[in-house]
C-alpha cells in the first residue's frame, strides 16, 4: 500500500511540476502571442489542470477504498482470532489495551493475539 501511495505521490509531483512549468512558459509568452491565441492556450492549460485535479481525486478515492477494504479484512480476521482465543481459554470479556487503566501483566494477551494474527494473515492482497 505504501509503495502504491509513494508511486502515485511521485507521479503527482512530476505532473504538477510540468503543469507549473507550462504555466510559467505561457505567462512569459503573454506579450508575444496574439490575444486570441493566448486565451486559447490558457483555456487548454485550465482543462489540463482540471483533468489533473480530477485524476488525483479519483486515484485518492480509489486508494482510500483499497485501504478500507484491507482494514476490514484485518478487523474481521482479528475479531475471529480474539473470539477463538477467548473461547479456548475461557475468557468472558476482552478489552482493548488502550481502555485498561490498571491490570495484571499476565492478563495481557496482546502478543499472543499478534502472533496468531501473523500466522493466519501473512499479507493482505490489494487489487
Along the 127 residues of the chain, how does pLDDT read in single tens digits? Answer: 667 777 777 888 888 899 899 888 888 888 888 888 888 989 999 999 999 999 889 988 988 898 899 999 999 999 999 999 999 999 999 999 889 888 888 889 999 999 999 999 888 887 7
What ranges make up the beta strands (E) of the chain? none
Q: How many helices (H) and strands (E) does the chain have?
A: 3, 0
The answer to whether 124 touches 74, Cβ cutoff 8 Å, is: yes
The answer to whether 94 touches 103, Cβ cutoff 8 Å, is: no
Per-residue pLDDT at 71? 93
Domain spans in the chain, listed from the N-terminal domain onward? 2-120
Per-residue pLDDT at 33? 83
Per-residue pLDDT at 1? 62
Amino acid at each position: 500500500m505504501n509503495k502504491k501511495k509513494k508511486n502515485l505521490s511521485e507521479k503527482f509531483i512530476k505532473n504538477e511540476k510540468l503543469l507549473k512549468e507550462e504555466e510559467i512558459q505561457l505567462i512569459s509568452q503573454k506579450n508575444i502571442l496574439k490575444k486570441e491565441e493566448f486565451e486559447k492556450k490558457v483555456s487548454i492549460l485550465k482543462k489540463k489542470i482540471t483533468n489533473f485535479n480530477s485524476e488525483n481525486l479519483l486515484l485518492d478515492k480509489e486508494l482510500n477504498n483499497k485501504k478500507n477494504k484491507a482494514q476490514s479484512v484485518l478487523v474481521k480476521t482479528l475479531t475471529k482470532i480474539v473470539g477463538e482465543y477467548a473461547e479456548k481459554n475461557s475468557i468472558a470479556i476482552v478489552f482493548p489495551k488502550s481502555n485498561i487503566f490498571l491490570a495484571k501483566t499476565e492478563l495481557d494477551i496482546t502478543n499472543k493475539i499478534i502472533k496468531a494474527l501473523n500466522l493466519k494473515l501473512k499479507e493482505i492482497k490489494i487489487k
